[in-house]
Amino acid sequence: MSTITKTLCPYCGVGCGLEVVHLDKKDLVQKDTVPLVDLVKVRGDRSHPSSQGMVCVKGATIAESIDKDRLAYPMMRSSLDQDFQQVTWEVALSAICDRISKVIKTQGVDGLCMYGSGQFQTEDYYIAQKLFKGCLGTNNFDANSRLCMSSAVSGYVKSFGADGPPCCYEDLDLTDCAFIIGSNTAECHPIIFNRLRKHHKQNPHVKLIVVDPRRTQTAEVADLHLGIRPGTDIDLLNGIAYLLFEGNFQSEDFIHNHTNGYAEFRELIKNYSPDVVTSRCGISIQDLETAASYWAQSKKVLSLWSMGVNQSTEGTAKVQSIINLHLLTGQIGKAGAGPFSLTGQPNAMGGREAGGLSHLLPGYRFVTNPQHRAELENHWQLPSGNISDKIGRTAWDIIRGLESGDVGFLWIAATNPAVSFPDLERTKKALMRSPFTVYQDAYYPTETSAFAHLLLPATQWSEKTGTMTNSERRITLCESFHSPLGEARDDWQIFAEVGRRLGFSKHFNFKDSSEVYAEYAQITRDRPCDITGITHDRLSKGALQWPCPGNGRESISRVATKRLYGNLQFHTANGKANFASYHSKGLAEPSDQDYPFVLTIGRVYGHWHTMTRTGRIKKINQMHPHPFLEIHPKDAKNLNLSQGEIVEVKSRRGSARFPVLITEAIAPLVLFAPMHWGSLWADNAEANNLTHPESDPYSFQPELKACAVQVIKLGVV
Ligand code: SF4
């Protein structure tokens, strides 16, 4: 008899439900010696509301990667030029606690840093916050969500007073016009795209606008593709607002009753006439007018965006400029409409809710807010003042801290910064200087393991039970159904054990992850992301969206859960949403005579991030065998390049080599390279080697998306 476990796909933020069918393999002798892929069949879960049984190649092949190249036991070395030696957990945990105590004595708690991941389950995030921000008293916890979602977080907070996408996936089936900007949804969030595309095909009145410098698979099927120049998003958004005003399509009642800052925005927009906007963006006046007319004529407009907007030195301003259009036309809080950020990672949302960035605390709280700190000190039974009021080190600040010698202990978990950080040469040099780096991951080797002193084996999907929240605020319980590989432990268990050994026994007295979740849920009471009505037990019967209050307040969730702001009450002081007035600043590093191209980066359909899993799956490697550099035929001709020829791409910070893919999908003087391949998979083809780390002043988001480069012909095919 086969049994079925329900869980979640651990790749992107779409959060597709999976069913794991356990095959009847009585004749297979030893479970531990049989690869997981031979024991289970993975398929989409038809009962999961977010994905309705759909699944892409990554989710469908997940079981193939689980047993390959795993880190099975702790390993340690005293310097980076030595080989790792296997050690016991006792030795590993003692080494961590000794080092933490020493750094606190010599450098203070500011010398401790943790860099976590949207791959964590919420329970992992929560315990890490309690350990670092609560017990140890440093806010130096940041996560790789800093590199993808922090601009969306900051934009929502500044416009609405709180984080949290207002929309849900049902809006994909109900909208009259989808406005996709900075997202190759067809490849990066394929199941969302399938759902939207089905609605688009079946309903001829539905319009699809795609804004992207590159003619992506998403743009191919759009009614209108606006191939703007990189860095001109805000010009375009303000230009659409200009035309909406000119046609008198603004919603005066909504603006008057539910917004702040309108007069200033109205003044700003006067600078964005079609002539100005189209010459900056490199599009026709007719296309700009068509975009504005689609907005104006549609009763329900849904904006979707991801890293093309977020990964920018003006990411927050871009997010708020998108939201401005919704406030101008009253397109929020109703079915089929609203601004909807798509999360990159499976639990980037859960991380935000649990306070997993260096300026946040669990329950959508802020480290700079005295009341928020006091509430958590009270919950955690810590002395008043234990939580620091200082924003902790962001991802890039950790690198600066390593360079200056101010970071004495670095703990990296479930992420691969030696591929994903900007300015990789500088990043790697900084990691080399770290006095003590703990690297906790399921796989070995990764590019980052080369920079670790201590490796800790972590359990992963299939081996640990916990929760994840997807882009539509839906929480799914991911149940374990397989014993941990080797000596691997759950991330939260490792953090809790260190906490106990450092003298905080009563704070980390949890029997299992359901107890961790129960404590965390109470901390969200009356917060925008209230989940007091959710338990592991309740989730085992089906995934739930937040807000989901319990304790007799269930009626609130019946009104507010599916879409936020249906009552048009925002989380600002006066309950009104804020218009934002931003002029476009353009690219942080525009092209020039020496570096005449703008390099953009992104994902391909089959691979995931730094390929730690997908690089080990045959079918996906056959789909995408190597990286590439898209270049326009005119530029290829000028450089005398032929299809497949290897070129060197150089920025002011580094260089990488790629085979060229000559295509009209990319505009002249713009390039595109996928961001996945690190040195383990393709020597010298690390796109992030070239990107630069200047940050968005509001979200501290480092610039990853575009930088100025030159292309050098090498004469190698
Ligand atoms: Fe997994 Fe995302 Fe593919 Fe869904 S769309 S199966 S969540 S990778």
Q: What CA–CA distance (Å, rounded) separates 687 from 706?
A: 11
Q: What CA–CA distance (Å, rounded) separates 278 from 271?
A: 13
| Res 482: pLDDT | 87
Q: How far is the CA of 408 from the centre of ligand 1 (A)?
A: 38
- Name residues contacting ligand 1 (CB within 6 A): 9, 11-12, 14-16, 51, 55-56, 58-59, 189-191
DSSP class of 484: P
- Of 242, 85, 101, 57, which is closest to residue 621 (Cα–Cα)? 57
Tokens representing 155 are 């934009």
Q: How far is the CA of 124 from the centre of ligand 1 (A)?
A: 21
Instruction: Lowest mean pLDDT of 178-182, 444-448, 686-690, name the range.
Output: 686-690
Strands 338-341 and 259-260: unpaired
| Res 551: pLDDT | 72
**Tens digit of pLDDT for each residue in 380-394?**
999 999 999 999 999
Q: What CA–CA distance (Å, rounded) separates 183 from 354?
A: 26
> How many CB atoms neighbour CB 580 within 10 A?
20
Ligand 1 atom showing the smallest separation from residue 190 Cα: 5
Q: Which of 19, 191, 619 to mutate to test the pocket of ligand 1 (most atoms within 8 A of CB)?
A: 191
Tokens representing 336 are 């089929």
Q: Which of 8, 16, 184, 218 to mutate to test the pocket of ligand 1 (most atoms within 8 A of CB)?
A: 16
pLDDT exceeds 80 at position 558: no
| Res 148: pLDDT | 87
Instruction: Lowest mean pLDDT of 30-39, 238-247, 455-464, name the range.
Output: 30-39
Q: How far is the CA of 17 from the centre of ligand 1 (A)?
A: 9
Q: What CA–CA distance (Å, rounded) separates 391 from 344?
A: 24
Q: How far is the CA of 400 from the centre of ligand 1 (A)?
A: 34
Which amino acid appears at position 552 of this protein? G
Ligand 1 atom showing the smallest separation from residue 189 Cα: 5
- Of 331, 321, 604, 340, which is closest to residue 470 (Cα–Cα)? 340
Tokens representing 554 are 């269930």
Q: How far is the CA of 185 from the centre of ligand 1 (A)?
A: 11
Q: How far is the CA of 677 from the centre of ligand 1 (A)?
A: 20
- Is there a contact between 372 and 366 (Cβ–Cβ < 8 Å)? yes
Residue nearest to atom 3 of ligand 1 (CA): 56
Strands 360-361 and 365-366: antiparallel
- Tell me the β-bridge partners of 409: 112
- Is there a contact between 122 and 286 (Cβ–Cβ < 8 Å)? no
Percent of the chain with pLDDT over 70: 97
| pLDDT grade for 465, boundaries at 50, 70 and 90 | very high
- Is there a contact between 660 and 631 (Cβ–Cβ < 8 Å)? yes
Strand order from edge to edge, sheet including 85-86: 85-86, 75-76, 454-457, 437-441, 409-413, 112-116, 141-143
Tokens representing 667 are 């505009």
Q: What CA–CA distance (Å, rounded) separates 335 from 343?
A: 20
Q: How far is the CA of 9 from the centre of ligand 1 (A)?
A: 6
Percent of the chain with pLDDT over 90: 88
Q: How far is the CA of 69 from the centre of ligand 1 (A)?
A: 22
Highest mean pLDDT among 194-198, 555-559, 560-564, 706-710: 194-198
Chain centroid to CA 673: 19
Q: How far is the CA of 354 from the centre of ligand 1 (A)?
A: 23
- Of 344, 334, 303, which is closest to residue 320 (Cα–Cα)? 303
Strands 40-44 and 17-22: antiparallel
Q: What CA–CA distance (Å, rounded) separates 497 from 504?
A: 9
Instruction: Lowest mean pLDDT of 19-23, 50-54, 427-431, name the range.
Output: 19-23
Q: How far is the CA of 519 from the centre of ligand 1 (A)?
A: 29
Burial category of 623 from C-beta neighbours within 10 Å (exposed 0-12, middle 13-18, buried 19 and up): middle
| pLDDT grade for 560, boundaries at 50, 70 and 90 | low
The upper half-sphere exposure of residue 458, i.e. CA atoms within 13 Å in the direction of its Cβ, equals: 27
- Is there a contact between 159 and 378 (Cβ–Cβ < 8 Å)? no
> How many CB atoms neighbour CB 395 within 10 A?
28
Average pLDDT over residues 251-260: 97
- Is there a contact between 138 and 110 (Cβ–Cβ < 8 Å)? yes
Q: Which of 14, 184, 619 to mutate to test the pocket of ligand 1 (most atoms within 8 A of CB)?
A: 14
Please enumerate in sequence order all residues whose Cβ is within 8 A of that of 546, keeping only pairs 6 or more positions apart, or say none: 353, 469, 473, 475, 524, 529, 530, 531, 534, 561
Q: What CA–CA distance (Å, rounded) separates 301 from 205?
A: 12
Burial category of 677 from C-beta neighbours within 10 Å (exposed 0-12, middle 13-18, buried 19 and up): buried
Q: What CA–CA distance (Å, rounded) separates 59 from 471?
A: 16
| Res 178: pLDDT | 98
- Is there a contact between 418 and 431 (Cβ–Cβ < 8 Å)? yes
Please enumerate in sequence order all residues whose Cβ is within 8 A of that of 577, keeping only pairs 6 or more positions apart, or say none: 159, 160, 258, 259, 260, 323, 327, 332, 565, 570
The pTM score is 0.95
Q: What CA–CA distance (Å, rounded) separates 378 from 371?
A: 10
Instruction: Return the C-alpha torsion angle 295, 301, 305, 309, nearest 10.
Output: 40
pLDDT exceeds 50 at position 708: yes
**Tens digit of pLDDT for each residue in 318-342?**
999 999 999 999 999 999 999 999 9
| Res 507: pLDDT | 98
> How many CB atoms neighbour CB 227 within 10 A?
19
- Tell me the β-bridge partners of 350: none
pLDDT exceeds 80 at position 683: no
Average pLDDT of the chain to the nearest whole number: 94
| Res 29: pLDDT | 45
pLDDT exceeds 80 at position 1: no
| Res 688: pLDDT | 80
Instruction: Lowest mean pLDDT of 307-311, 682-686, 708-712, name the range.
Output: 682-686
Secondary structure (DSSP) of 392-413: ---HHHHHHHHHHT---EEEEE
Q: How far is the CA of 419 from the centre of ligand 1 (A)?
A: 22
Average pLDDT over residues 162-188: 97
Ligand 1 atom showing the smallest separation from residue 346 Cα: 7
- Of 506, 556, 412, which is closest to residue 116 (Cα–Cα)? 412
The number of helices, as runs of H, and strands, as runs of E, in the chain is: 27, 28
Q: What CA–CA distance (Å, rounded) separates 592 from 669?
A: 11
Residue nearest to atom 4 of ligand 1 (CA): 16
Please enumerate in sequence order all residues whose Cβ is within 8 A of that of 593, keeping only pairs 6 or more positions apart, or say none: none
Residue nearest to atom 2 of ligand 1 (CA): 12
Ligand 1 atom showing the smallest separation from residue 9 Cα: 1
Q: Which of 8, 11, 603 to mutate to test the pocket of ligand 1 (most atoms within 8 A of CB)?
A: 11
pLDDT exceeds 60 at position 702: yes
- Is there a contact between 539 and 529 (Cβ–Cβ < 8 Å)? no
Secondary structure (DSSP) of 65-113: GTTTTB--S-EE-SSTTSPPEE--HHHHHHHHHHHHHHHHHHT-GGGEE
Tokens representing 608 are 């995931």
Q: How far is the CA of 220 from the centre of ligand 1 (A)?
A: 21
pLDDT exceeds 50 at position 117: yes
Phi, psi of 359 (to 5 degrees): -105, 0
Average pLDDT over residues 541-551: 92
Q: What CA–CA distance (Å, rounded) separates 464 from 489?
A: 9
Ligand 1 atom showing the smallest separation from residue 60 Cα: 6
Q: Token match 């700079």: residue?
A: 368
Q: Which of 56, 184, 194, 474 to mutate to test the pocket of ligand 1 (most atoms within 8 A of CB)?
A: 56
- Is there a contact between 398 and 426 (Cβ–Cβ < 8 Å)? no
Helix orientation angle between 89-106 and 491-501, rounded to the nearest 10 degrees: 60
- Is there a contact between 509 and 499 (Cβ–Cβ < 8 Å)? no
Average pLDDT over residues 381-408: 97
Average pLDDT over residues 302-329: 96
Q: How far is the CA of 566 from the centre of ligand 1 (A)?
A: 28
